[in-house]
Amino acid sequence: MTYVRKKSLLIGINYTGSANQLAGCHKDVENIAEFLSYRGYNTEDQVILRDRDGGLSEPTGVNILRAFDWLVSEPDTCNFLHYSGHGGQVEDPTGRHPTGLLDTIVPVDFQENGQINSDQLHRHLISALPPNSTLFVILDCCHSGSALELPYVYKSDDEGNIALLDNVKEGFRLFAEGADILSGGPSVNKIAEAQDLYAGATNFFRGLSHMGDPAGLNDSKYASDYQDETKTVTMFSGCRDEQTSADASIGGVNEGAMTWSFLEAMKNGAGASYLATLQQTRFALRESDYQQVPQLSVGWQIDLNQGLIM
C-alpha cells in the first residue's frame, strides 16, 4: 500500500478581548485535533493557529495565507483544513461579482489588515492544490457557503433528501429571470425584484471554476485562473451564504455548532459516505434547535455514497 502523507491546518480565533469575541473556537481546534489523531494525522505534519499563541501561530491574515500555502504545497498529499471563527462579506474589489460581495474569513487583525475573501481562498487553496493531492475543509463560520467558490453544492432538507445545485446553470437561470423582469421597462418594484434575483445568482457564479467564461462576465486572467480545475476538494460549511453560524454552548462547553455536529456525525459512523455525513450533520443541528443548514461543496461531480476522502 502506497504511503500518503497527511497534513492538517487548524485555525481557531476567539478574538479575545475585542467587541467581536467568541467563546468556542479554541475548543473546536482541540476537538478536531483529537479527531484527526484517530484518522492517522500526525502532529508533526500539523499547524495550529490560535489567537493566544503569538508569533507565527497568531492567526493574522499574513500567517493564515502562509499556512494555506504550506498546506497545499506538496504533491501526493491528503490535506485537511478546519477554520472556526468569524465569517463575513466584503465588497468585491474586482467588480466581477454581480452583487459586489465576496464571502470572507476574518483574521484576528482584520481591523488593521482586512479580511480574506473567497477569491483569495480559492487561489491559495484550490488553484494551488497539486492535481494528485486532496483537500478536505470544514468552515465553521457565517456566510461560508461559497467561500471556496466550488462548482457543485449539495444540501439536505429536514427529511434528509439531498439536492444538487449546478452553480453555473442555476446562475444563468437567475440572471435570465432578472433580465426578463426588466425587459418591459424598469420600475421601483421591478428593479428590487431583479436585484434579488441577481443577488441569488452571485452565489452560483462563484462556481465558475473549470467552466471558463461563457458569459463574458470575467476578464481573461480570472477565467484562466478557474479553467479546467477539477480538483479533489471537499468542503463542509456551517451554513448557507446568507446564514449565521452559531457559537454554541453544548453540555456546558463552548464550541461551534457546525464543528460539534460534524464530529457527532463521525461518532455515529456517518464517515462511511458523503451522503450520511451531510444528512447526520443536518440532523444533529436540527435536533439541537440550530436553524443553520450545512452544505457540502465539491470540486467535481461526486458519488455521494462513496466514503470520505480525508
Q: DSSP 3-state assignment of 110?
A: helix
- Quick one: 170 exposed, middle or buried, by C-beta within 10 A (0-12, 13-18, 19+)? middle
The pLDDT value given to residue 224: 40
β-pairing verdict for 162-166 and 232-237: unpaired
The pLDDT value given to residue 222: 39
The pLDDT value given to residue 55: 87
Residue 112 C-alpha cell reads as: 488593521
Say how far apart CA 293 and CA 87 lie, in whole Å: 15
pLDDT single digits (tens) 72-85: 999 999 999 999 99
- Per-block average pLDDT, block size 10, for the chain (310 residues)? 88 92 92 95 96 89 97 97 92 71 90 92 94 95 76 78 60 49 48 46 42 36 49 81 45 72 90 90 81 82 90
| CATH no. of 5-166+206-298 | 3.40.50.12660
The pLDDT value given to residue 74: 96
pTM of the model: 0.79
Q: Are 8 and 46 in contact (CB under 8 A)?
A: yes
Q: What is the residue extent of each domain of the chain?
A: 5-166+206-298
Residue 68 C-alpha cell reads as: 494555506
* Catalytic positions: 86, 142
The pLDDT value given to residue 195: 46
Say how far apart CA 51 and CA 42 lie, in whole Å: 22
Closest by Cα among 310, 28, 281 to 141? 28
- Cα distance from N-terminal residue to C-terminal residue, the chain: 17
Closest by Cα among 77, 126, 128, 160 to 233? 126
Closest by Cα among 293, 264, 310, 256 to 29? 256
Say how far apart CA 81 and CA 310 lie, in whole Å: 10
DSSP 262-308: HHHHHHTTGGG-HHHHHHHHHHHHHHTT-----EEEESS---TTSPP
Say how far apart CA 34 and CA 28 lie, in whole Å: 10
